[in-house]
Amino acid sequence: MEAINKKDITTPDIILLLVTLFLVIIGTVMIYSSSSIIALEKFKDGQYFLKKHIFFVAMGLILMTIMIKVPYEYLKKIAYPGVIVSVVLLILLFVPHLGVKRGGATRWLNLVVFTFQVSELVKVAMVIFLAHLLTRKVHHLKKFSRGVLVPLSVTGVVMALILLQPDFGTVVIIASILLLMLSLAGSRISHLVFLAAAFIPVGIWLILHKGYRMARLTAFLDPWKDPDNTGFQIIQSLISFGSGGAFGVGIGDGMQKLFYLPEPHTDFILSIIAEESGFIGVTIVIVLFTLFLLRGFMIAFRAPDLFGTLLAAGLTMLIAMQAFINIAGVMGLIPLKGLALPFLSYGGTAFVMSMTAVGILLNISTQRV
């Protein structure tokens, strides 16, 4: 790869940076608003979640700043070790006393001092790995066996381990990112169609053969059929949206967070935003994520090399897809998936990894053609 000329190095993309900071500020305010009552009830401290989130914000900003300074080309060195570590960590989840089970899924690794959600680290590691591998195999991608089979196999192993947690939503995201990156790298359309045609029936089978996934689908189609059980969450979420009207009831004055809407500071934080800031607040959030998507892909297509393009596109897709799935889910447009809303939902690992991804994007934006 040619060395990047110093005259091509510019300042980080200011719009992407501002969009991210605005989302972080909104998230911090709404986490406090949505969690204070729960925190007071559970921990006798209304600021319990706010204090922890501020720590995560500090960690995220530090890592984002570091990644802005570290040339993204250096990430090639951790591409293969990163995916190996990812597989090891996913396996360790099933070791007794190491894997932590919450809400029926084993997604957190207990390291005594703290726990973290392994899949959040794995998603970023997979984007880096695929960007590097596809860049190396760019001249072989027209041949399925030499160009597509290896990234597909490695990704398949990772997705299988994530399914065992189980975490169907993350598998959908990783599969989508794989198809996007293969497409941008130059794979044949016929290969992409074949993979998509293979993923879809497998996904349908996975939904039909797990009771809780079928329950989510049934709740999506008719939540009022079982309003006290499978349909409860989405009904409460829709009540939040309906209660907010155009301008909301006021920040801090929402009622759904008073033990009606489960975990309002995590997966359903947009529902609280809808209730307390109304249609205007939700629109602002959607516009900010749309700007993030546009700037992320602009950075990708302006990157000076294929690795930068694939890396930026993959990271942008990672955050945008999580945002879309969360937003559409809490609005009742798709079945609920249990994914956090990037930058807004409470959750240390997800937040820190999202900020790390932004730091990488901003570094790529400094080296454009």
Candidates 322, 314, 352; CA nearest to 340 is 322
Half-sphere exposure in the Cβ direction for 49 (13 Å, CA): 25
Angle between helices 348-365 and 269-302 (to 10 degrees): 30
Pair 301, 368: CB distance under 8 Å: no
Confidence label for 3 from pLDDT (cuts 50, 70 and 90): very low
pLDDT of residue 124: 96
Task: Decide if pLDDT at 225 tops 50.
Answer: yes
- Mean pLDDT, rounded, for 40-61: 93
Q: Residue 106: CB partners within 8 Å, gap ≥ 6?
A: 93, 94, 99, 100, 165
Question: What does the pLDDT look like over 17-29, one tens digit per residue?
Answer: 999 999 999 999 9
Confidence label for 211 from pLDDT (cuts 50, 70 and 90): low
List Cβ<8 Å contacts ≥24 apart for 75-82: 75/128, 75/132, 75/311, 75/360, 76/132, 76/307, 78/128, 79/128, 79/129, 79/131, 79/132, 79/133, 80/129, 80/132, 82/125, 82/128, 82/129
DSSP 187-251: --HHHHHHHHHHHHHHHHHHHHT-HHHHHHHHHHH-GGGSTTTTTHHHHHHHHHHHHHTTT-S-T
Q: What amino acid is encoded at 40 in this protein?
A: L
Q: Which helix (H) or strand (E) holds 285?
A: helix 269-302
pLDDT of residue 6: 43
Taking all residues of the chain, what is their mean pLDDT, rounded to a whole number? 89
What's the CA gap between 11 and 251, in Å, rounded?
36
What's the CA gap between 81 and 58, in Å, rounded?
27
Most confident of 10-14, 85-89, 108-112, 214-218: 85-89
Confidence label for 216 from pLDDT (cuts 50, 70 and 90): confident
Two tokens at 180?
């996007």
Question: What does the pLDDT look like over 137-166, one tens digit per residue?
Answer: 888 888 888 888 999 999 999 999 999 888
Pair 193, 296: CB distance under 8 Å: no
| DSSP 8-state symbol, 2 | P
Confidence label for 212 from pLDDT (cuts 50, 70 and 90): low
Pair 173, 322: CB distance under 8 Å: yes
